[in-house]
Amino acid sequence: MTINKSQITAVILAGGQGRRLGGQDKGLVEYQDKKLINHVLDKITPQVETVLINANRNQKHYADLGYQVISDELSDFQGPLAGFAIAMQSCTTEFILTMPCDGPNLPDDYVVRLVSEVKDNETIVVAHDGKRLQPVHALIPVSLIDSLLAFLNDGDRKIDRWYAKHTMATADFSDKPEVFFNVNTEEQRQQDTTTENNHG
């Protein structure tokens, strides 16, 4: 199945609480002289035509970057699936491509790797670092929105349980584990990129 970038909306997930960073809004945290959200935008915007930012606070800061900002319909920071749901309801493309706002090392072939594993328009493709799934790095058919809403309405929030209800393929990133380095702590924020390969 061939998918081109006009069929994909990138969704940057910036809706979390940032508990391990003292409650800071992680997308707006400075990392190597630039906000984390800007690192992600710089990497993903050449690879897709449409970008949404999922944020539950500081929405004006994110909107000032020039992209549409969407907020979860579920209150109290319900996790990534709530962000997936509002993105799927807001976009006009056939797929959403998700990534966290605190992962500054997206590769130039991020989209290509995930798209290459799509078998049909019902398949969820999830990144794999060679050791484990990276569930918030995923390509998801928007046609699954009803399934996701029903799952959330039942009170479930576990990504892996929802994925298990559908056909899932994995995209191999075992040669680039640094893609999944994310800034969760002040120590990681201070890290130099030369040490990132040591962190998953």
Note the pTM of the prediction, 2 decimals.
0.88
* CATH for the 5-189 domain, from 3.65.10.10, 3.40.190.10, 3.90.550.10, 3.10.310.10: 3.90.550.10
Q: pLDDT of the chain along its 200 residues, tens only? A: 889 999 999 999 997 655 545 567 878 988 888 999 999 999 999 999 999 999 988 999 999 999 999 998 766 556 899 999 999 999 999 999 999 999 999 999 999 999 999 989 899 999 999 999 999 999 999 999 999 999 999 999 999 999 999 999 999 999 999 999 987 656 666 765 434 444 44
pLDDT at residue 185, rounded to an integer: 57
> Domain residues of the chain, as ranges?
5-189
Q: Which residues pair with 97 in a beta bridge?
A: 10, 139
